[in-house]
Amino acid sequence: MSETALITGATSGIGREIARRFADEGILLILCGRRQERLDALEAELSPKTRIHTLNFDVRNREEVSQAIDSLPPEFADISILINNAGNAHGLDPIDKGNPDDWDAMLDINVKGLLYVTRAVLTGMVKRAGGHIINIGSTAGKEVYPMGNVYCASKHAVDALNQAMRIDLNKYGIRVGSVNPGLVETEFSEVRFKGDSARADTVYTGYQPLKPEDIADIVHFVVSCPPHVNIADLVVMPTAQASSTIVKKDR
Ligand code: NDP
Ligand code: 8X3
């Protein structure tokens, strides 16, 4: 039987590349995001390779999340792989100057949104006593860096929830693990700096950052492991990066 994967944040960056990588394997895909035109474009691109269903919802809206997942047609209803990827940083400010709207966005999307989606998908996984959840955390969930405060807190929460899910879902045989990337060149910094692409570009210049395809290959490896193998917690950085604050740049 073919696998069915639900990927949040499939309209950009890491999530979109995971969708492309999974489509190459013929995995049925439920692609989620808020930008419908991007969902449509990805559906058109990947439909020759696999069956696609798109869901447009904001992970912050608990009602929207459960309605969207409840609305899945029977062919897509038995989700075997959940990729909790939707998320972003908003702002990079010291704690005394942070914008509380940015704080709300990061905690609502990266933490509560992940919880809402997981809760909705787990109903089926628990009933079927199986499934595989991959939480996209971050090196920001392993160490705190200057001005990363609330983003780092949100990703530390993902790290804690990854452990909590593994503990609570152990009795159902559901695999839970996280992939925690360092610097990956996506729209992440453009979102963080609110559309200032010149500033965003400086994050990825002077060295070779990870590409979203690198993360997609790793996530594909994680889901391809035999059923008795669970990659519980994986950290991946560009070779040029040693920690959140140490990056060897040649210019
Ligand atoms: P992108 O900005 O390229 O992609 C973010 C994705 O999240 C988009 O598809 C976006 O879709 C979705 N998203 C954001 N907010 C919401 C929302 N409220 N409801 C539903 N979907 C939402 O960034 P990345 O691909 O880099 O980020 C993906 C994940 O990887 C995030 O969790 C991020 O924290 C993590 N990460 C990124 C790293 C990096 O350096 N890039 C490193 C470590 C972790 P849409 O706007 O269409 O809703
Ligand atoms: C994204 C990596 O270092 O920009 O999670 O926080 S970092």
Whose atoms come closest to the Cα of 183: which ligand?
A: 1
From 6, 7, 8, 12, give the residue whose CB has the most ligand 1 atoms within 8 Å, as the site to mutate. Answer: 12
| Ligand 1 centroid – CA 248 distance (Å) | 25
* Tally of CA atoms within 13 A in the half-sphere of 107 that contains its CB: 9
Whole-structure pTM value: 0.98
| 185 Cα nearest atom in ligand 1 | 41
Cα(162)–Cα(137) distance, integer angstroms:
9
Domain ranges of the chain: 4-236
What is the predicted pLDDT for the residue at 167? 98
* pLDDT average, residue stretch 165-191: 98
Ligand 1 pocket residue status of 135, Cβ below 6 Å? no
| Ligand 2 centroid – CA 169 distance (Å) | 28
Exactly one of 116, 145, 151, 204 is catalytic; name it: 151
Ligand 1 pocket residue status of 238, Cβ below 6 Å? no
Q: Which residues line ligand 2 (CB under 6 A)?
A: 138-140, 148, 182-183, 244
* pLDDT average, residue stretch 242-246: 98
| Ligand 2 centroid – CA 190 distance (Å) | 12
For residue range 22-36, list pLDDT tens digits in order: 999 999 999 999 999
What is the predicted pLDDT for the residue at 159? 99
* pLDDT average, residue stretch 153-175: 98
| Ligand 2 centroid – CA 122 distance (Å) | 28
Nearest CA to ligand 2 atom 5: 138
* pLDDT average, residue stretch 125-137: 98
For residue range 33-85, list pLDDT tens digits in order: 999 999 999 999 999 999 999 999 999 999 999 999 999 999 999 999 999 99
What is the predicted pLDDT for the residue at 251? 74
Mark whether 151 is an active-site residue.
yes
Is the pLDDT reported for residue 2 higher than 90? no
Cα(251)–Cα(240) distance, integer angstroms:
12
Is the pLDDT reported for residue 1 higher than 80? no
Is the pLDDT reported for residue 170 higher than 70? yes
What does the mean pLDDT of the chain come to?
A: 98
CATH number for 4-236 (one of 3.30.420.40, 3.40.50.720, 2.40.50.100, 1.10.1740.10): it is 3.40.50.720
What is the predicted pLDDT for the residue at 212? 98
What is the predicted pLDDT for the residue at 134? 98
For residue range 228-240, list pLDDT tens digits in order: 999 999 999 999 9
What is the predicted pLDDT for the residue at 198? 97
